[in-house]
Amino acid sequence: MRILLVEDDPMIGAAVCVALKDAAYAVDWVKDGVTADHVLESAGHQAVLLDLSLPKRDGLDVLRRLRQAGNAVPVIIITARDGVDERIGGLDLGADDYLVKPFNLNEMLARLRAIIRRQGGQATPLLTNGKITLDPTTRQACCGDAVEVLSAREFALLQALLLRPGAILARAELEERIYGWNEEVESNAVDFLIHGVRKKLGSNSIKNVRGAGWMVEKPL
């Protein structure tokens, strides 16, 4: 999954980026509200971590403009503003969750997993299509008798597919969800990851739709 981090504090931003990458997320980091506006107009992120006290444009204004444009991407506010009125204001403007600094990075990751589950229509912590089950907290995948821990990028690929079972995801769409802006993507990177998942979970775990992309089966 690809996350947009909007944070101007270099130490907090660097720590959050490391935590996200360690948890198998692709992360793009911007440091002011105007840049965040431009990025949110075009880039396809699955969630946003948004600071409020930003240079050039306040985070609440970024959130307001985002929702007015009809963009429903999940947003977690991360801020030092801990007043009740600020929390209510952020949630009423359309934020999905609110974390007050300093926060525990593991709690941030748990809240991120929760809003991504809701975005994909999943009620339980496990992602499944009835055939494959994926645990986002451990990166463990089960398919039939196979129980395997996936690499970070294998996990990111399978998560993207399991959040939309039955949907065909093209190469470019999978690359967008697995890699950040500054990461070099080799031409056969997706094929390599799919080969790795199939080797662990079985050749039929991910299906190829010739000329279109890849998918996992929709639940019966």
Give 58-79 pLDDT, tens digit per residue: 999 999 999 998 888 899 999 8
Tokens for 18, please give them. 């490391």
Residue 3: closest CA among 37, 26, 36: 26
Fold agreement (2-119, 127-215): no
Which has more pLDDT, 87 or 202?
Answer: 202
Residue with tokens 């075009």: 42
Classify domain 127-215 at the CATH class level: mainly alpha
For residue 90, the model assigns a pLDDT of 85
Q: Does domain 2-119 have CATH number 3.40.640.10?
A: no
Domain residue ranges in the chain: 2-119, 127-215
User: What is this structure's pTM?
Assistant: 0.76
- What is the Cβ-side half-sphere exposure of residue 33, based on CA atoms within 13 angstroms? 16
With beta carbons less than 8 A apart as the criterion, state whether 91 and 113 touch.
no
- Cα separation, 100 vs 80, whole angstroms: 5
SS3 of residue 32 by DSSP: coil
User: Where does the pLDDT of residue 41 fall: very low under 50, low under 70, confident under 90, or very high at 90 and above?
Assistant: confident
- Cα separation, 149 vs 140, whole angstroms: 4
